[in-house]
A = this chain, B = another copy of it.
Amino acid sequence: MKIGIIGLGLIGGSLGLDLRSIGHTVLGVSQKESTCQTAKNIGAVTHATTDLKLVAQTDLIFICTPIHYIFPTLQQLSEYLQPTTIVTDVGSVKTPIVQQCTTLWSNFVGGHPMAGTAEQGINAAQNNLFVNRPYVITPTLDTPPHSVQILADLVSSIGAEVYTQYSPEVHDQAVAWISHLPVMISASLIDACMSEPNTQILEAAQKLASSGFASTSRVGGGNPELGVMMARYNQEAILRSLQQYRQTLDHLTHLIKTENWSSLQETLETTQQARPHFID
């Protein structure tokens, strides 16, 4: 297949490496000439330029830009493409993107590969990044089933675990729970600790923090731009999760305040038993 990739960062570059390794032709586009050169050097693309026209004759295009460039990129692209070209994206929020893009390009299929590393950029690209990782494809009632199938087969061929049964809205509320809410509650943990006015307590907290704090604060200490993007593009679902979270936190606080240890025990038993349903 002749495949275009717009945006040669961690995800775009890694897709290129894997797709080329199974025999596809990969045409890459980046805003930076130096990124195009690196992508060629590491073998992530067959050719790469800074000119979008390069991908005009492809069968399928992955838009791997930051979320806010996805729709503008499709707008520019749509002038060159043939109607048979399938266009997909890799944004972590789907409802607003799928709505906008499907209206413009009927052969648009929303996608979200749930893979990543702490690193970013073409130099972080790696082979087999998607193996056994969820890759969610979110068709609407209007998405051509044939195009969904082609994309599903393609990402399945690079080892991803493909899900096609969730709507953009279900996807967005699910990732609000398991990805975006954790960022906000984890960031608030760091923020709250930093607000400790007693300097000796703050110093002791900083010196003694170990694996429990490290785990719980990990995603709250991540990329700020990414956190803001989650909140902007998935605002409604995040707010819904935050509201519900605040209620469960208030309930747990109430149990501690009223010394209702048996109910606290029950709650913690429930969470202990529930976690393996998320993490296997």
Binding site for B on A (CB under 8 A): 114, 133-134, 136, 163, 166, 170-171, 173-175, 177-179, 181-196, 198, 200-201, 204-210, 212-225, 227-228, 231-232, 235, 238-239, 241-253, 256-257, 259, 261, 264-265, 267-272, 274-279
Contact = CB atoms under 8 A, between A and B. Distances in A.
A222 B212 CA distance: 10
Identical chains in the assembly: 2
Nearest to A182: B216
A59 B196 CA distance: 39
A182 B205 CA distance: 12
Given A163-B208, A213-B278, A201 B174 contact: yes
Given A213-B178, A239-B257, A268 B228 contact: yes
7 contacts: A191-B270, A192-B249, A194-B270, A224-B269, A242-B253, A246-B246, A249-B249
A251 B215 CA distance: 23
A114 B189 CA distance: 20
Contacts of A170: 198, 200-201, 204
Contacts of A227: 264, 268
Given A238-B256, A279-B214, A205 B178 contact: yes
Contacts of A269: 224
Contacts of A231: 256, 261, 264
Nearest to A268: B224
Nearest to A255: B231
